[in-house]
Structure 1
Amino acid sequence: MEANVSQDERDEVDDIVAQWTRERPDLDAAAIGVFGRITRLNAAQRAVLRQVHERHGLTLASFDVLANLRRSGAPHRKTAGELAESSLLTSGGITFRLDKMEADGLIRRTRSKEDRRVVYAELTELGLGKIDAVFADHLATEQAMLGLLDAHEQAMLASLLRRLSASVASFQAEPLVESD
């Protein structure tokens, strides 16, 4: 158990660490305290945001594509390859997702005027309105989930997670990609 954690603050991860420490006292199970919580937080956060996105008629993957296009700035367009590089989907997953989003009127595909082989996915007015509405709800929900942390604690946590991400990335041979 971590130092200075009251009985009221203990969680299931503390119990798991204590069990491993009891069963394998020769090993340091402290890393479970970090990675166990990150795993649980990710699952919980995704479940909450899935509900937010579903209220707006989107999946997590569709939200990711719309957000990716929106934050790219006008004219809010990228190729499927560019979307795959900066999203949570594989290139095959992007193609499937774009087909669905095009059918729903959220994006349109346009060919490059300079190179007709290049096809862009571009936000439609409907898609732009949808991502602006859902993103406001998404961000408000994330802020509410961080509500127990003050601004200093949030900045400290972000800094620590950035450092941890760099450390974990040094162990990865290839980026992990998840499709929804």
Structure 2
Amino acid sequence: MDHEPDAVDAIQAEWRRERPELDVSPQGVIGRLHRVAARLTDELTTVYDRHGLAEGDFDVLATLRRAGAPFERTPGELAGHTMITTGGMSKRIDRLERAGLVTRRASETDGRGRVVALTERGRAAIDAAFTDHMANERRLVDELDAHDAAELERILTLWLGRLGA
């Protein structure tokens, strides 16, 4: 073992004792990945909170900002680019609209469609939040040396591709 024993090691030891016929080694990867993801979510949402944004708010505003000028997308496009369901998207857009961060208007190409756009206030909010978000992600990734970070990115990219994500 090339690390200090942790909670995952303890869980695996208990399962090895209780179910010695099973290979519990996958828990070493999955269990730690799950714990890292939960810690990262906590670290990321702390920055969003400082900007008055929930994780989904940040996602929507960032997706609009990445679209480039005029910083707009349909609700369906927003749902496709985020982890938010179509039903959840409508509520999220309502809240962002009430906060003055986005506007909604009829589509010029689809009579029944709607378009969501960043307001100037929304663009300023996501630009400030994204700047802090990138500094936070840099701080988190810098817990690894550059080689390990690049190797982890390579492995995760490969794994996601194989899982069909």
| TM-score, normalised by the number of residues in structure 1 | 0.86
- Is 1:33 aligned with 2:28? yes
| Structure 2 equivalent of residue 103 of structure 1 | 98
Q: Distance in 2 between matches of 1:167 and 1:16?
A: 27
| Structure 2 equivalent of residue 130 of structure 1 | 125
Q: 1:47 aligns with which of 42, 46, 56?
A: 42
Q: Distance in 2 between matches of 1:46 and 1:37?
A: 14
| TM-score, normalised by the number of residues in structure 2 | 0.93
| Structure 2 equivalent of residue 5 of structure 1 | 2
SS of alignment partner, residue 105 of structure 2: strand
Which amino acid in 2 is paired with 1:74? Answer: A
Q: Distance in 2 between matches of 1:76 and 1:30?
A: 46
Q: Distance in 2 between matches of 1:165 and 1:15?
A: 28
Q: Distance in 2 between matches of 1:38 and 1:104?
A: 35
Which amino acid in 2 is paired with 1:93? Answer: G
Q: Distance in 2 between matches of 1:21 and 1:73?
A: 53
Which amino acid in 2 is paired with 1:5? Answer: D
SS of alignment partner, residue 88 of structure 1: coil
Q: 2:154 aligns with which of 138, 145, 159?
A: 159
| Structure 1 equivalent of residue 114 of structure 2 | 119
Shift of 1:128: 0.5
- Is 1:92 aligned with 2:87? yes
Shift of 1:115: 2.4
- Is 1:74 aligned with 2:69? yes
SS of alignment partner, residue 109 of structure 1: strand
How far does the alpha carbon of each residue in 1:3-56 deviate from its partner, in whole angstroms, 9 at most, with x for none?
x414xx322112212221222221111111111111111111111211111110
- Consecutive unaligned residues of structure 1, counting only runs of 5 or more, are 170-174, 176-180
Aligned residues: CA RMSD: 1.5
Q: Distance in 1 between matches of 2:79 and 2:112?
A: 18
Q: Distance in 2 between matches of 1:81 and 1:161?
A: 28
Q: Distance in 1 between matches of 2:160 and 2:24?
A: 20
**123-132 or 112-121, which moves further after superposition?**
112-121
Following TM superposition, the consecutive aligned residue runs of length 4 or more in structure 1 with deviations greater than 3 angstroms are none
For these two proteins, the number of residue pairs brought into alignment is: 165
SS of alignment partner, residue 161 of structure 2: helix
